[in-house]
Structure 1
Amino acid sequence: MDVKLMIERYDREVRRRPQEGPGAVVEREPGIVRVVNAADGWSGVTWCGLDGLDAGAVIAAQVRRFAEAGVPWEWKHYSHDRPADLPARLLAAGFEPGPPEALLVAETGAVPQGVELPDAVHLVPVTTAAEAGLLVRVHDEVFGGDHAGIGRQLLASPGTVSGVVALAGERPICAARVEFHAGTGFASLWGGGTVPDWRGRGVFRAVVAYRAALAAAAGYRYLQVDASADSSPILQRLGFTQLAVTIPFVHA
């Protein structure tokens, strides 16, 4: 994989063309693409190219815009973004950095498909409110916080995002989703959290394979993941390549 060309393609097709889900509006101005979401979804800056612009003024303008919208938001920074001192500028403007994640990409067809689940574990697609509740339950346990909005998003956006839950008997032990970026070559993987006592037993890998199969069937060539330090080594063993590091900067 040519990392430089893949970064350019990912920025062009995904970061600069974010999806407009229910309640979301994509806004563009010189050097900036942002999503403002009045519903349950994510809001923030998806792409920036500030060379030749007054970076301080652009940052201040985003702070004002999201203050007007009155929604939680983040500036999603990638290690190849410019100017190079943008993280320091964001910190000086009152932003707080979240945990860094690895931007990973793989050819969908190269991700192993024949992953076996442990005995008594099966995968269930999220199509009903009850199944969405199981996904939310896993996310709340694994990641903390309230993820009810993700459950509502899954039910409100069929065809754009699909969820899956791994059950051990009747207990939900892992949950994840895949988003399909219409008009691009990319599908993206999100979630993938496994409860502590089931980690290291192949459930996460099986859930990745399941979503890769969905993306392949829908005609998407690439899979993208923002991977934590825990999941990044597993995904790289499954064929993913690291393109960059991404950090969410949240305005205090």
Structure 2
Amino acid sequence: MLKAYDEQLRTDAETPGAVSVTRHGPLRLITFDAGRGFISYRDLGGADEAGIEALVAAAMAHFEADPTIEEVEWKTRGHDVAPGLHEALLRHGFEPEDPESIMIGEAHLLAVDVPLPDGVTLRAITSAEDVRAAGVMQDGVFGSPTSGGMVDEVVRRIAAGESEMWVAEADGQIVSAGRIDPVPNTEFAGIWGGATLEEWRGRGIYRALTAARARTAIARGKRYIHSDSTEFSRPILERSGLVKVGTTTPYVRRFG
């Protein structure tokens, strides 16, 4: 599964919706809307510490030359051969965020019937108003500000059939939300942004939301589900049959 992940989900699969993609050696330097930069690669081409330092410096020179860029993410993977990468990223102003588990499993293992608590319902959402409300809830869970640009991008992707977003509601309040993105030309669909309000956890809501998204993946002809999971969601996905195949740590540099 890790081999399939490396072959199918890195580089091109990470660029949907990109404004521009610039190649520099093994790196893809990607610009998205809302001032976001992203650095992707299949591997680092066997570079030694000096070579990796040069790659990081070149990537930052590229993004620093673009006044629209507000933040850049370099997504590391724990199984990569990358001597000195951590130190080079720190020298160039990146800060590591919390490590996440790379989870992969068969979609059919998640597409099961999960009973919901009384009064809780699930639905797929499409409107900007609903997506924004879900983002506000997720912001409260993850502590990262909801970007208007991100809302617009999610709505665009939903309208284009590139994404589907599901919410769980109780008494008109969104209590859990998550997105699924079928990855074109691969066997995978990714589940992202899964969040549940603390007072609603432990009742099967997140698992039911995951099952709904897995059924979407199967309907789109996908075999595997993948997720970069926090420690909140990892045990739930493991109980559903997904396997931790590695770790990923985003390093982010913010400008201004």
- TM-score of the aligned structures, taking structure 2 as reference length: 0.89
**Distance change (3 Å), C-alpha of 1:203 and 1:225:** same
Indicate conservation of the 8 Å contact 1:40/1:153, yes or no.
no
Contact 1:18 1:35 in 2 (8 A): no
* Alignment correspondent of 2:119: 120
Determine the structure 2 residue equivalent to 1:225.
227
Shift of 1:196: 1.1
**Corresponding residue to 2:190 among 188, 191, 209:** 188
* Unmatched tracts of structure 2, length 5 or more: none
* CA root-mean-square deviation: 1.8
1:84-137 CA deviation, whole Å, 9 max, x = no partner? 432233223332110000001011112241111111001121111222122122
- Match for residue 11 of structure 2 among 9, 16, 19: 16
SS in 1 for 2:123: strand
String of CA shifts for 1:29-85, please: whole Å, max 9, x gaps.
Answer: 322123211x13853112241414611111100111111232311110000112243
**Structure 1: distance between partners of 2:6 and 2:109:** 22
Which secondary structure state, in structure 2, belongs to the residue aligned with residue 229 of structure 1?
Answer: coil
Q: Which of 233, 240, 246 is the matching residue for 2:242?
A: 240
> Are residues 71 and 113 of structure 1, via their aligned partners in 2, closer, same or farther at CA, if it must alter by over 3 Å?
same
Answer yes or no: is the 8 Å Cα contact 1:41–1:149 preserved in 2.
no
- Partners in 1 of 2:188 and 2:13 — Cα distance? 12
2:226 maps to 1:207: no
Distance 1:150 1:122, change over 3 A: farther
Given residue 57 of structure 1, which amino acid in structure 2 is its aligned partner?
A
* Pairing 1:13-92 to 2, within 5 Å after superposition: 13-37=8-32, 39-40=33-34, 43-47=37-41, 48-52=43-47, 54-69=51-66, 70-92=69-91
| C-alpha distance in structure 2 between counterparts of 1:178 and 1:68, whole Å | 33
Measure, in 2, the Cα distance between the counterparts of 1:24 and 1:161. 18
Q: In the TM superposition, what whole-angstrom CA distance separates every residue of 1:146-166 from its partner, at most 9, and x where no partner exists?
A: 223332122111311111111
- Amino-acid identity (%): 31
Q: Return the letter of the residue paired with 2:107.
A: T
Native 8 Å contact 2:14 2:40 kept in 1: no
- One-letter amino acid matched to 1:209: A
Counterparts of residues 156-195 of structure 1 (less than 5 Å)? 156-158=156-158, 159-195=161-197
Contact 1:18–1:46 (CA<8 Å) still a contact in 2? Answer: no
**Aligned partners of 1:132 and 1:151 also within 8 Å:** yes
Secondary structure at the counterpart of residue 11 of structure 1:
helix
TM-score by length of 1: 0.90
Counterpart of 2:145 in structure 1 is: 146
| Between 133-142 and 225-234, the greater mean CA deviation after superposition | 133-142
2:12 maps to amino acid: R
Equivalent position SS for 1:17: helix
Gaps of at least 5 residues in structure 1 are 1-5
